[in-house]
Amino acid sequence: MDTYTQQNQPPGVPPLELTGERTLPDVPAENYWYRRHLVVYEWIARQVGGMRVIDLACGEGYGSEVLAHAAASVVGVDANPEAHEHARLRYRRANLRFERDLIEGYGDPGACDAVVLLQTIEHVRDPASVLRHVNELLAPGGTAFVSTPNMLKLAPPGATHSGNPWHVKEYRHDEFLSLCRAAFPSVTLLGLHHARKLRLHGLALWLGWDRLHRALRITDRFYDRFTPSISTADFALKTDHLDRAVDFVAVCSRT
């Protein structure tokens, strides 16, 4: 079995292969990253009840489907043909549709009440222009939700980039906040932190767990069980200790 390809897809839905460009559900080895992204989509879904939502760079489509449980309507937009076709075939709700397009040129001014742009801004070469376009998509009083990983947690100590070939620029919290404030008059920044078993795992690493599991030769056996067991409850969104967050979530309001 290919551990980097989606498992158990519905009939007629082509599975996607994990490339590192986007995260996927139904790949056990990817479960940590999937749950880390999913928990933010679930939180946003609770904020957008009854709204018209555009989910830019929606990837596989799972997040758009989560949003559609609460929103009046959701459009998932992605330029990748394989991801678009997969999402179109897999996630079907009366208030959900998928369109293939570039995020920089999609939509009309004032077309929606909320825009979601998760784990994408670090991939683009002109982030300021993208955020201005996101602002334009919003109706008056609308809100954009923008997330990105914390460079301090992603990159090696002392480095300014993780080495991920898909990332153009990775941000510290002050850099990301300044970027968002240049496009929006009101920005609140939240941090996504490890909780429950992930927090305990972090403590174990600090105490030397990495050396112990290697010495005992149980690395694969442990993580083959631990990684698939991670859930969205093992993450928490907070407003403090932003330097310690694994991801940032900016809530950007258009007045």
pLDDT tens for residues 95-115?
Answer: 999 999 999 989 999 999 999
User: What is the reported pLDDT for 1?
Assistant: 45
pLDDT single digits (tens) 16-26 = 999 888 899 99
Predicted confidence band of residue 65 (pLDDT cuts 50, 70, 90): very high
Question: Among the listed ranges 50-64, 155-169, 239-253, which one has the minimum average pLDDT value?
Answer: 155-169
% of the chain with per-residue pLDDT over 90: 93
Mean pLDDT of the chain: 95
Q: Give this prediction's pTM.
A: 0.95
> Residue 162: exposed, middle, or buried by beta-carbon count in 10 A (0-12, 13-18, 19+)?
middle
pLDDT single digits (tens) 168-224 = 999 999 999 999 999 999 999 999 999 999 999 999 999 999 998 999 899 999 999
All structural domains of the chain? 28-194+236-253 (3.40.50.150)
